[in-house]
Amino acid sequence: MMINAFKWVEYCWVGLGLVWIAGLGFTKPVIRRSPMGPRAFQIALAALGAVLMTGQSLNKGWMAVPFLPQSIGGYRMAHVAGVALTLAGCLFACWARLVLGGNWSGDITVKDSHELIVKGPYALARHPIYTGLLIAVVGTTLVVGKWSAIVGLAVVVLMLILKMSQEERLMTQQFPAAYPSYRQRVKALIPGLL
């Protein structure tokens, strides 16, 4: 019996969450943290994006309308593409998380003995965890297939843009000599483009 696309997407996100939880015990102590106001706003945006993408209570009216053609073949292709993108994005984010090691934090922070990581996925994008998350959210949006997921995707993109801009400022302050040249060499999210 074949597992449906929604289950595969769920497994991807649960796997990503388990990697994040397992890595919590290996992070370095925090020296400096971003202010609580912006952090709370980003958390609220992330939660709103997740609810819009998956929450059934908000799936009413135009938000519940599918944005993809409902032909059987097209629907299946969207599901296959969505699962593949979700899996690829989650795996890329996990790779980036593992390479970042003890420097990782869910918040925007500077760690004790903070290092500027420029290898592995960080040689491809300055924010590869966000690249992976964005790919995974696009994949999940394809599987969900409703306008609520598109709105959720837009909210997540807004949250990532806000968080990236704060991280860029903090890394420039922390690594005033190295970060500007790294920033010139490596794009923020998409190699060679953005």
Average pLDDT taken over every residue of the chain: 90
Range of the domain at 143: 27-174
Number of domains in the chain: 1
Q: Per-residue pLDDT tens for 150-179?
A: 999 999 999 999 999 999 999 999 999 999
> What's the whole-number mean pLDDT along residues 94-122?
93
Predicted structure pTM score: 0.91
pLDDT higher than threshold 70 for residue 57 = no
> What's the whole-number mean pLDDT along residues 104-132?
94
pLDDT higher than threshold 60 for residue 89 = yes
How many angstroms separate the Cα of 77 from the Cα of each of 2, 136, 151?
Answer: 15, 16, 22
CATH number at residue 46: 1.20.120.1630
- Is position 13 within any domain? no
